């Protein structure tokens, strides 16, 4: 590929042919403001914030979509550029609900930041009197406020990449807005609750349905015993909400912070990730040996499960019957833990801390029997810690509470795409072949959207696939249906990169999202924790050994099925 030489603000820059002005400017450490652009999600040039002057062009051009050419000279900060951007911001503000102090994104809003930088006057244009649409609170996982939307379409692009299509542009011209087909509520639409629209939104038009007040009330209720448990990926992301570098493992500080919220116990969800692996690996072996429905799909991601129920109900028999680690923990706490400690299950208030908005929906599923009382996102936990006045960065490292503290590395890597597959392979291969010593499966690691591998175990070829992002899941399913793809076991995560990139993770500024590989750095923290753990296989965990010896008997036993397994059903929305 040929190189292109140009100048940006009189600085010589050499970039590959096909590079946009925006990309070239970043290579030269020059920032061009954007609103609708989001790397790997949306690049349409519609917001007009990135307009620049370039030789050979008539008027201002959108840097995010305009390609460089040999000898081009670009000016990014002329008076013409600045005036255009300021007017764009003031026009956006005239149609934006300016409730900044009470907004979820206050001090972390791209519109707010740019308005301050360009000294935009929020009242330069008269505020649209039509900003009075009801807030959509129909779903238990996502809240949509149309009057805060700036029509950047980043949420639409994220939803389309997920092959869901729950939201899109409605109307034309001045009355154009983002919504669901036929002005449906989100709960009526085909939304699966993955929350990728939330992390794509540059303002506060989309947010999770917060249940923080309910958690505070439970902590303050003397009649309730409150227990928290945290998902594997939260330790790799929570620190970002407190200014720590991306990929910092804050497990110890996370435990210490939750403990300081009140009289609560803090457990490790990695324990039931290990439990999921024992159940899932043995279910896979049983299907292989007894001619069960193949390939078997993982079922620990509720967004993926809902996607299958709504769009591919013919594949429901392929889903593992295992509950997710969240719901397994709920069932374990309301049975085993309560029995061991003489607690009435009605008095035990169970809070899961999760990277995912779909987990909020999962708690409401009738099949889950309300065993998890509340699921809060990483963002919600961060807000609780800040509200409590806790100096997170300077907390000491503390350990999870027994009896659910010790886990294997296999449980920890659940938060990264390929982690469930690798953890299951560690146990399944050892179970089938007692001499199988491999514990690392690099072929299923990494953030490549679709990964495939074949392993020889006990004289049999096991074909596996891993996909993250529901658009890639749709590609896998299409291949299975038309006979071009053949697998025994498939892991799907709804969010690109897995739970480390979930819809409930910290919302970072565009300057970070567009330049830093969040998925990779966050996943590295989990794999480092795994490699430093003496226990690599889920079956090696003494906690898991105790649970089966004292309570469940064996994986896939009758009692295990009663508490740890579930069923799924077709759900055709439209």
Q: Which residues are catalytic?
A: 280, 283, 300, 320, 359, 362, 367, 499
Quote the DSSP letter at residue 416: S
Nearest-angstrom CA–CA distance, 307 and 416: 20
Distance, CA of 357 to chain centre:
8
Q: How far, in Å, CA of 240 to CA of 513, rounded?
A: 12
Angle between helices 270-290 and 325-332 (to 10 degrees): 110
The rounded distance, in Å, linking the Cα atoms of 425 and 423 is 5
β-pair type (177-179, 264-268):
unpaired
Q: Cβ contacts of residue 59 below 8 Å, gap of 6+?
A: none
Kindly compute the dihedral angle of the four CA atoms of residues 470, 474, 477, 482, in this order, to the nearest 10 degrees: -170
Of 529, 522, 526, 531, the C-alpha closest to 440 is 531
Q: Distance between CA atoms of 162 and 358, rounded to whole angstroms?
A: 14
Q: Give the span between the Cα atoms of 161 and 165, in whole angstroms.
A: 8
Using alpha carbons, select from 219, 177, 103, 123 the residue that is nearest to residue 507: 103
Helix or strand run (H / E) with residue 89? helix 79-94
Chain length of the chain = 574
Output Rg (C-alpha) for the chain, integer angstroms: 25
């Amino acid at each position: 590929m040929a190189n292109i030489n140009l100048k940006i603000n009189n600085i010589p820059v050499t970039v590959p042919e096909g590079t946009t002005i925006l990309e070239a400017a970043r290579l030269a450490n020059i920032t061009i403001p954007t609103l609708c652009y989001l790397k790997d999600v949306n690049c349409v040039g519609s917001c007009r914030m990135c307009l620049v002057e370039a030789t050979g062009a008539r008027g201002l051009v959108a840097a995010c979509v305009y390609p460089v050419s040999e000898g081009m000279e670009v000016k990014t900060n002329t008076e013409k550029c600045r005036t255009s951007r300021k007017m764009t911001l003031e026009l956006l503000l005239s149609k934006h609900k300016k409730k900044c102090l009470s907004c979820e994104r206050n001090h972390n809003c791209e519109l707010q930041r740019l308005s301050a930088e360009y000294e935009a006057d929020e009242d330069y244009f008269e505020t649209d009197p039509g900003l009075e649409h009801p807030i959509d609170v129909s779903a238990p996982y996502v809240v949509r406020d149309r009057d805060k939307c700036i029509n950047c379409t980043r949420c639409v692009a994220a939803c389309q990449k997920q092959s869901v299509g729950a939201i899109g542009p409605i109307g034309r011209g001045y009355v154009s807005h983002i919504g669901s087909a036929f002005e449906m509520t989100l709960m009526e639409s085909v939304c699966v609750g993955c929350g990728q629209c939330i992390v794509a939104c540059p303002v506060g038009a989309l947010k999770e349905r917060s249940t923080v007040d309910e958690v505070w009330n439970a902590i303050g209720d003397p009649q309730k015993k409150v227990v928290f448990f945290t998902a594997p990926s939260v330790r790799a992301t929570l620190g970002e909400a407190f200014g720590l570098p991306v990929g910092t493992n804050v497990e110890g500080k996370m435990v210490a912070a939750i403990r300081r919220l009140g009289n609560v116990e803090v457990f490790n969800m990695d324990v039931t990730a290990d439990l999921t692996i024992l159940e899932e690996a043995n279910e896979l072996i049983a299907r292989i040996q007894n001619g069960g429905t193949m390939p078997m799909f993982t079922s620990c991601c509720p967004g993926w499960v809902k996607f299958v129920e709504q769009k591919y109900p013919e594949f429901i028999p392929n889903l593992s019957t295992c509950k997710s680690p969240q719901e397994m923990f709920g069932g374990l706490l309301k049975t085993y833990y309560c029995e061991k400690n003489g607690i009435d299950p009605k008095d035990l208030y169970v809070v899961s801390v999760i990277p995912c908005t779909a987990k909020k929906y999962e708690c409401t599923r009738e099949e889950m029997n309300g065993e998890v009382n509340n699921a809060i996102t990483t963002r919600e936990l961060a807000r609780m810690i800040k509200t409590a006045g806790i100096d997170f960065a300077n907390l000491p490292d503390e350990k999870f509470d027994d009896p659910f503290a010790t886990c294997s590395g296999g449980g920890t890597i659940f938060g990264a795409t390929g982690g469930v597959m690798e953890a299951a392979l560690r146990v399944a291969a050892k179970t089938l072949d007692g001499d199988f010593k491999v514990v690392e499966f690099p072929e299923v690691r990494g953030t490549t959207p679709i990964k495939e591998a074949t392993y020889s175990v006990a004289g049999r070829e096991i074909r596996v696939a891993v996909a993250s992002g529901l658009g890639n899941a749709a590609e896998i399913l299409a291949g299975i249906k038309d006979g071009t793809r053949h697998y025994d076991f498939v892991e799907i995560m709804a969010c690109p990169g897995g739970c480390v990139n979930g819809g409930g993770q910290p919302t970072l500024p565009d300057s970070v999202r567009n330049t830093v590989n969040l998925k990779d750095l966050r996943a590295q923290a989990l794999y480092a924790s795994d490699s430093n753990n003496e226990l690599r296989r889920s079956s090696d965990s003494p906690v898991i050994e105790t649970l089966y010896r004292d309570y469940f008997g064996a994986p896939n036993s009758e009692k295990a099925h009663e508490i740890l397994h579930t069923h799924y059903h077709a759900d055709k929305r439209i």
